[in-house]
Amino acid sequence: MSATVNQAEADSSFEQRKSSQKLSSLRYLIAYLTPYKIYCLGALLALIVTSGISLLMGQGLKFVIDAGFGQNSLELLNQSLIILVVLAIVMAAGTFTRFYLVSWLGERVSADIRTDVFNHLTRLHPSYFETNRSGEITSRLTTDTTLLQTIIGSSVSMALRSALTTLGGLIMLFVTNALLVFKVIWVVPLVILPMSLFGKRVKKLSRDSQDSIADVGSYAGEIIQNIKTVQSYTQEQQEKVAFSGQVERAFMFARRRIKHRAFLIASVIMMVFLALAVMLWFGGRDVIDGLMTAGELAAFIFYAMLVAMGVATISEVFSDLLRAAGATERLIEILAVDSLIEQQGDHNIADPLKAELAFNKVNFYYPSRPKQPALVDFSLQLSEGKVIALVGPSGAGKSTVFELLQRFYDPQDGEVLLDGTNISRLDPQVLRQQMAVVSQQPVLFTNDVAS
């Protein structure tokens, strides 16, 4: 029994560490935000200004009710409303600035990440693309970076704004009427409870949903890329059924995620308004008993609403942040992959290299097929100025020879020499620039000849 309890505690601890590590992956984005510090500071300043004005609105409301209505003074009422209008104009300007700068940052950072991931992919060894589906890689490059753009350009701003208004609202609640705060403080755990219950489940379902969408894109890309094979074997109907299954699987995960997220948001909103009802009951009694003014109660309710909306927004954005963390994690995994082809670069382009080629007792296995030899004890001498044709049945290793020669792979045993130099000592780009290649399977790229 003790062992079971200890195991359950260990599992819970591991899950908490895993969630913390996932959110910590968002720190990776700081490096991409650093070059745009001016934009970040401008957005933060606008955020602070708009949040501060939101808090001042509560005091303005209190003044309007107590001074304007309470004293039956038209002059005080006009002054109060003019101040509120001015604050609203400043708040609108701050909101415009914040929205523009934050949206700009989201677009800029996602573009930078997308470029870095693509540039890194172009330098990776071909075996990486043999063991990872191209459709999934493309999905990471597009879907995940688009998700980050949405999170940085919207959700992070909402989370920071809500955190500021929630903290400021709590402070102003104590400033307005600390006694009433202590009367209703017990309802706070009721608001936090749904976030704790549904938060972990939403996080897991968000990751599953993203992965299933990536699988859909990968499957579609695979079929489209090999459409001639599919049509040759008249497998169109079977592939339609299979793809429909993939789509329905992704929809199932999305539906479950939406349901749990809807429960999370609805529960938080319900508890928030329950808390407000409790505040109105206690506050109304204090107004009737003369312990506080109607303006103070209105300001108290205003700040309570700010806190409630802030908590509700944070609960909604929290699941978005988890999705962004998952996307960042996957992009980091791609950027962390090192090319198996070392670029030592002993020679540069200016070095003259003779077209003297030699394969000495080369043994090679493709990384995706480690138990199936492609070349065994292969040796070949090629002299400069000679025209050589490699002839053999399919699978004999003809293409493999050229892939080793271009150093897409390094052999497990033996060596490939160019002008007496082991090509493993040459920078792959320098080596490939010495060769003219006509591909067996022509490829049409989406560009023009000049590019």
Tell me the pLDDT tens digit for each residue of 45-74.
998 998 888 888 888 778 777 776 666 667
Residues of the chain with CATH 1.20.1560.10: 2-332
Q: Is the pLDDT score of 199 beyond 60?
A: yes
Angle of CA points 70, 74, 77, to nearest 5°: 65
Q: Which CATH number fits domain 2-332: 1.10.260.40, 3.20.20.370, 3.40.50.1110, 1.20.1560.10?
A: 1.20.1560.10
Going from the C-alpha of 189 to that of each of 183, 371, 447, the distances in angstroms are 14, 59, 59
Report the distance separating Cα 404 and Cα 365, nearest Å.
Answer: 11
- The answer to whether 316 and 262 have CB atoms below 8 angstroms apart is no
* Separation in Å, CA 183 to CA 193, 271, 385: 19, 17, 95
Whole-number pLDDT of residue 351: 59
Q: What is the percent of the chain where pLDDT is above 70?
A: 86
Q: Average of pLDDT values for 274-298?
A: 82
pLDDT of residue 3: 41
**How many whole angstroms separate alpha carbon 146 and alpha carbon 137?**
14
Q: Who wins on pLDDT, 237 or 433? A: 237
Mean pLDDT score across all residues of the chain: 79
Q: What is the largest CA-CA distance in the chain?
A: 107
Most trustworthy range by pLDDT among 31-45, 65-79, 117-131, 313-327: 31-45
CATH 3.40.50.300 boundaries in the chain: 357-433
Cβ-contact 105, 152 below 8 angstroms: yes
Q: In the prediction, which pLDDT does 42 show?
A: 92
Place 450 in a pLDDT band, splitting at 50, 70 and 90. low
Q: What is the rounded distance in angstroms from the CA atom of residue 63 to the CA atom of residue 295?
A: 7
What does the pLDDT look like over 87-140, one tens digit per residue? 889 889 988 998 899 889 888 988 898 888 888 888 887 778 877 777 778 878
Residue 407 amino acid letter = R
Task: Give the dihedral sign, CA 175/177/178/182.
Answer: negative
Q: Write out pLDDT tens, residues 380-412.
A: 888 888 888 888 887 778 888 888 888 888 888
Residue-wise pLDDT for 166-179, tens only, equals 888 888 888 888 88
| d(C-alpha 157, C-alpha 99), whole Å | 8
Which residue in 362, 308, 339 sits closest to 408, CA to CA? Answer: 339
pLDDT tens sequence across 328-346:
777 888 888 887 776 655 5
Question: What's the CATH architecture for 357-433?
Answer: 3-Layer(aba) Sandwich (3.40)
Q: Are 283 and 274 in contact (CB under 8 A)?
A: no
Region label for 363, one of left (φ > 0), alpha (ψ between -120 and 50) or beta (otherwise): beta
CA distance 39 to 395: 57
- Over range 306-321, report the average pLDDT: 76
Per-residue confidence (pLDDT) for residue 38, from 0 to 100? 92
